[in-house]
Amino acid sequence: MIALGSDHAGYCLKERIKDLLKLWKYECQDYGTDSEESVDYPQFGSLVAEAVAKGECEKGILICGTGIGMSIAANKISGIRAALCYNVETAKAAREHNDANIIVLGARTMEHSLVDEMVRVFLITEALEGRHARRVGMITKLETQKV
Ligand code: RB5
């Protein structure tokens, strides 16, 4: 199950990606928003992040205007590695190097013609073992580090 979410700025792109996921036979859960009416991105970012963190969804896709707010919000949830990607190479590296479980897109700032391939690559690419897994483990430890 793939979790999808956006604010108003990402709504149209979310709808396009939802159609694409259905075409590719992925099951998806849409956490909103459901129009271009102004909403607050942390609300939708946290819904998707929590669904992924709880294991209810295997991966997530979040979209806002720049992708920045959604990234910041989603990464506050323990167990989430949300990666703001801007081309196919970063979508692939986010999985291989960072074991990212959410891809974040900026609807107002990125090239929309790249989105289909970025999402496809993100969903099919496996995380790499070895030094990459060790570094991801270090990130996980940071979640419980006292400051
Ligand atoms: C909404 O105007 C905009 O601030 C939001 O979509 C996002 O870009 C925040 O990071």
Of residues 75, 95, 77, 73, the one with CA closest to residue 85:
95
64 is catalytic: yes
97 is catalytic: yes
Of residues 30, 40, 46, the one with CA closest to residue 8:
40
Amino acid at 109: T
CA distance 14 to 19: 9
* Mean of all residue pLDDT scores within the chain: 97
Atom of ligand 1 nearest to the CA of 64: 6
Entry pTM: 0.97
Domains of the chain, each with CATH number or no CATH = 2-142 (3.40.1400.10)
| pLDDT score, position 147 | 87
Alpha-carbon torsion angle 132, 85, 75, 30, nearest 10: -120
Pocket (CB within 6 angstroms of ligand 1): 7, 9, 41, 64-66, 68-69
Written as six digits, the tokens of 84 are 């703001």
Written as six digits, the tokens of 140 are 């996980």
Amino acid at 112: H
For residue 92, the 8-state DSSP code is H
Atom of ligand 1 nearest to the CA of 7: 6
pLDDT tens column, 6-39: 999 999 999 999 999 999 999 999 999 999 999 9
pLDDT tens column, 46-72: 999 999 999 999 999 999 999 999 999
Q: Please name the residue that has the structure tokens 């196919």.
A: 88
